[in-house]
Structure 1
């Protein structure tokens, strides 16, 4: 008998098994904190509880696979919205936002900026210092 593959190719199941330290099929606030700590960040017990409350769909104070799948779907939707916004500002065909393309896009929206102002805006979020914004830098700026 063949095993039916999940729609996400098992990716969310793998995430769940990695986070679910006690293998009970749910992610507790403690497990969430441990995962965050393992990634080099810190999260208080209160922050973990609040994060769970925001995502928990059945009110049991724990995250199940369904909660993770909804969270992932929301992230994909947010990324697509950011990609659409990025395309408004990017230099056509270049895959990046330049001071010129930023100035032009802002002007199309009725917001007049000088070239120097646009250069400052780009520099503020230009993580790699190459003078333009990549999609990743744009995402960091928007979030």
Structure 2
């Protein structure tokens, strides 16, 4: 987290913790994320995280633990931004990566640009393997899974 992000988090935390107790209700963490412009985790991730940080079931969270959690959210946001930029290399000019799909034509164009000749059968196989959700192309979700699985992100 940057200095500015920490300062903003402190301000939001202090606004919620007006009594100065040093903790806030876990139920208010979503308000913190929203105030910082961050996306809340999925319900499953949220449950796992809460179980880890509130193992004694107090229903509250201190600043340091909250900062660790928010830092992870910022990292995920930065990672997504990088993945969008990488996806856009295959689909330049696309305005909504959530609706776009990388096709054989896109792979053929990239291969030609790099001076590689890859037979269409191999390109088809690449798309078939990567198309986990069965959409006849590599969706952004497919792309993110591949990038994470291969350790590129």
Q: Is TM > 0.5 for Structure 1 vs Structure 2?
A: yes
Task: Confirm whether residue 25 of structure 1 aligns to residue 61 of structure 2.
Answer: yes
Richer in strand (by share) = 2
Match of 2:114 in 1: 109
Task: Give the aligned CA root-mean-square deviation in angstroms.
Answer: 3.2
What CA distance in whole angstroms lies between the structure 2 residues aligned with 1:119 and 1:107? 16
Number of matched residues?
104
Larger relative contact order (Cα-Cα within 8 Å, sequence gap ≥ 6): 2
Structure 1 residues 27-78: Cα deviation after superposition (integer angstroms, max 9, x where no partner) = xxxxxxxxxxxxxxxxxxxxxxxxxxxxxxxxxxxx8111111111111111
How far 1:90 sits from its partner (Å)? 2.5
Is this contact kept in 2: 1:89–1:102, CA < 8 A?
yes
Q: TM-score, normalization: structure 1?
A: 0.58
Measure the CA separation in 2 of the matches of 1:8 and 1:111: 45
Q: Is the 8 A contact 1:126 1:132 kept in 2?
A: yes
Partner of 1:4: 15
Q: Any gaps of 5 or more consecutive residues in structure 2? A: 1-13, 17-30, 149-153
Distance 1:74 1:98 in 2: 29
SS at 1:127 equivalent: coil
Pairwise CA distance, 1:131: 1.9
Instruction: Give the distance between the partners of 1:105 and 1:75, measured in 2 at CA.
Output: 27
